[in-house]
Amino acid sequence: MPGKILVTGGAGYIGSHTTLLLLEAGYQVVVVDNLSNSSLESLRRVENLTGKEVVFYKADIREKDKLISIFEEHQIDGVVHFAGLKAVGESTQIPLEYYEQNVYGTVSLLKVMQQFNCLRIVFSSSATVYGDPATVPITEDFPVSATNPYGRSKLYIEEIMRDLAISNDAWNIILLRYFNPIGAHDSGQIGEDPQGIPNNLMPYISQVAVGKRDKLSVFGGDYPTIDGTGVRDYIHVVDLSDAHVKAIQKIESLNGVSTFNLGTGKGYSVLQMVDAFKEGAGKAVPYEIVERRPGDIAECWADASLAEKILGWKASRGLQEMVNDTWRWQSSNPNGYKN
Ligand code: NAD
Ligand code: UFG
């Protein structure tokens, strides 16, 4: 039965889409976000699109007192936890910031949840925890490892949550390991709004197409893949968000810790993405093949059949829809939410 969900990091890219779908599914949503990588405009647009209210608190998840007053004010039935830092390269430069915000921030949140006996949480993990997989597709029982502080923070949080579930079997914890989220809501009103130079492929391509950047640097043309460029499992952000709604709907029946891959099961190369963008947006994307990016792997895609079996979830949006929705968002908001 729908209730009240706390969404940490709810003003961000995946958080704003998930907030929208939770509202549409009949949940009330309370968002906690420090706006370090987002703006309130995303949630204003979610309210316009849904005609429903989002209760918002500008707070950092490390500020336990603020979290306590939110839990005092609201009877929270479950938490969807997105808040954290997510740039792999940056994490190698400022590792302590990643451990403090991601790991300590999560511990702070979990302590407050425990204090209020709110024991249901859905956590944003990442396919990065599989390191360089020996084979593809990847199932949830593959060995895990980390090559950078960002990935390690995700692994630590997963382990902390497993320890918690052992300490008290009343916890219901769902770890969602995302593959590569791209795309935007089909209204073109909300989407990904990276600060500065995008780290990820799709926002970079769309900024080239809209004329904000000259050309794409393709990191490596000599991988053992279909055309030498890296292959990833791109998943539409609305499909990904829908998995969170399904997870919240099922969480009470899943005791302890459950782990699911969220991907489509299909991989596309960088050059295939460039072609798909050309097709969908009608814009050429000039590119140049350069050196490999340190830490990148050749290919990675999910076996997401467990999420289908247990959560009743399957990605339904294909590559062209991901590209078209990205372009609708980017072309109608060339400066993101800053207008
Ligand atoms: P995002 O940066 O758009 O969203 C994160 C939100 O959390 C932002 O609104 C930010 O302001 C907020 N935030 C950050 N630190 C906070 C803190 N200490 N207290 C309160 N709020 C804080 O990122 P996203 O792409 O929406 O990612 C959401 C989650 O999914 C992250 O945990 C990320 O690691 C994970 N994830 C993302 C990807 C991806 O490619 N986008 C892949 C795998 C996992
Ligand atoms: N790429 C380029 N040029 C760019 C950006 C990326 O060629 O300017 C290539 C990369 O080399 C890779 C592919 O495009 O082959 C995808 O790269 P992204 O940076 O978009 O995504 P990653 O797979 O490297 O990493 C993403 C998130 C991580 C997360 C991981 C697994 O950034 O946080 O997916 O979920 F851990």
Q: Nearest C-alpha to atom 30 of ligand 1 is from which residue? A: 124
Burial class of 147 by CB neighbour count within 10 A (0 to 12, 13 to 18, 19+): middle
Domains of the chain, by residue range, sit at 4-184+235-263
Catalytic positions, written as ranges: 150
Neighbours of 125 (CB within 10 A): 22
187-210 pLDDT, tens digit per residue, is 999 999 999 999 999 999 999 998
33-43 pLDDT, tens digit per residue, is 999 999 999 99
| Nearest listed ligand to the Cα of residue 202 | 2
- For residue 148, CA distances in Å to 95, 138, 295 come to 9, 20, 8
pLDDT of residue 66: 98
Which residues make Cβ contacts (< 8 Å) with residue 131, sequence separation at least 6?
143, 144, 145, 146, 147, 151, 297
| Nearest listed ligand to the Cα of residue 225 | 2
- For residue 299, CA distances in Å to 27, 226, 228, 266, 290 come to 37, 10, 10, 11, 18
List per-block mean pLDDT (blocks of 10 residues) for the chain, which spans 339 residues. Answer: 94 99 98 98 98 98 98 98 97 98 98 98 98 97 96 98 98 98 98 95 95 96 98 98 98 98 98 96 94 96 98 98 97 91
Q: Nearest C-alpha to atom 4 of ligand 2 is from which residue? A: 201
Q: Nearest C-alpha to atom 8 of ligand 2 is from which residue? A: 201
pTM over cut 0.85: yes
pLDDT of residue 17: 99
For domain 4-184+235-263, is the CATH number 3.40.50.620? no
pLDDT of residue 179: 98
Burial class of 260 by CB neighbour count within 10 A (0 to 12, 13 to 18, 19+): buried
Name every protein residue with a CB atom under 6 angstroms from any ligand 1 atom: 9, 11-15, 33-38, 60-62, 82-86, 101, 105, 124, 126, 178, 180-181
pLDDT of residue 83: 99
pLDDT of residue 2: 83
Ligand 2 centroid – CA 184 distance (Å): 17
3-state SS class at 176 = strand
Q: Nearest C-alpha to atom 33 of ligand 1 is from which residue? A: 86
Strand-strand pairing, 234-236 and 180-182: parallel
